[in-house]
Structure 1
């Protein structure tokens, strides 16, 4: 059984966190520190953008050099340290060195992450001061401060935790995430940090993270953009004493999925300028890959997203996207639903039902369903948000 509990990244035993202000941003918290005692096993998945930021390079290196053993994760917001050349790599490595000195571990046991403006230099003196300050405030009760410190344009912090009860005992999974823009399901798609006090092998940890990321973090989009800095890190400390073997592996995946699913939807709800959470379920596909491809195309369509924002049940836009999504599509047998209301099916238009569909679109959470009409049994659900004038304003003014 999996049950939601209070807390976030420090809900599992063996983890402490802190969030401090060190002057990278003009105001607010901008540096988070997560410490595992003792050192934890770690797994990560990273951006697929070819313009890879310095912290992603260094974190990959450290996971390889440490044998996927991690003592600390340090994250700054306000500056991405991306497209900064050799000097940016030097700063990312100094970020790890300063943290290692502060917590007492080898530098390769420190993972680093950054988010913010691309191309701006990251001040290593501010990072060093921030790390020293963070080590003074570390605690299990500081999880919310850490979640706030990784925010950029996010309207609120995102954290959650669960407890899983199994025949072998109970363990916990916690997490925090950030993401409001540059979010597109092409893992990784944002920053997310996950912890557990279960004990699991490095191979099992990576397997579970990959398995869970696909229907959660890889199923969301805000604007179709994949960042230079995105990563998801999962740390397993083992303090619960529960050993995850093949028999308990489904329990672990269930708990991890619960945390990742909640964080993923929170990212979409907090998308830049968003006013509606939108699920797009594609059915009747020949394969899950085709269903995913079609759902992602619809979720990234500006015409679909603006129609949702305007509460206009314009089902034709969904049909148009399905037809150009590059997957098998049979319009003579296709069906389109807005919420529970079928507006188009088997070449029949139900125009008299549009008022009922428009009423559904007035809700904060909206459901769109498209059956591709191929007779296939595969399906996939993607989550997105509406496009508003506020999204344009935020991104037009991002640096100015």
Structure 2
């Protein structure tokens, strides 16, 4: 797509030319494992086996690279498959990684229980504390792994500052952009070396597909990641790729509605007696508000808050909602509520990444906002 085209135009058209055979305006689902070769080594379009490449997956990868401003993109069976592949492609046993001290529980589990056995070492630090990150990088960390906003405490990392710090000492900066997505935030343009996504979330957007992606801004990184994607094989299937791309087409429209609703929910919670603290970058009281305003288009659809009644009251509030569905994951059109300490972040219990027991996380959907506020009002008791 032409760089001058707007986001929604590129989301709908990048990598999605009408089918040359039939004129179909939606790229077809190539539900196929292998391809006829025109003589030994004579590949049509470069395809020989769908683990190595599939036209439907390629269409999604082209679109994601365009939206993130990258030179290469790789689609996977899940966000964690993308993370695992990136780490093994770019790092060696013995390397050290700086991670947020409030990272997603699945990411922490990957570092703590999986890649550590392979020889990778990690150091959790407050990702908002540039001094703490710099100290670890000066000690020889090979990579800085940032979530921004973080999951579930919604802390903000200054991407440009982290990039400068990491590059000064020869380290890479990887940004998990799942919470913001390319419509709200483009880490590569701010200096990041690679972006990872759980495409299950806002990119897919409808809670009907699981997937992941890596986007890089340098061909030198694309080569080893592409090799490992093919060698490790946890690729996105054609139907999953098609579903994800269908979701991407409406990303901008959905994100604006998610943000509208989340802002209304955050303001409501900030004035409620049962709420001790609201964690939302759109509030002027949030410590990352200024950073968010600098690097994000809007403040996102995720809201976390701490219940003034403690852990049991938080659990009971989660159980009482009607429109907010009690469930893990996020980023779908429907609103979700969860208790991170007992659900998505249970794997971090007892560690440096343990989350507050009174914390509730909301994925604010695109329903009518008055209905969402009424549901929270009754769940919180007034």
TM range (shorter): under 0.3
Looking at secondary structure, tell me which structure has more strand per residue.
Answer: 1
TM-score (norm 2): 0.24
Q: For the pair shown, which has the larger CA radius of gyration, 1 or 2?
A: 1
TM-score (norm 1): 0.23
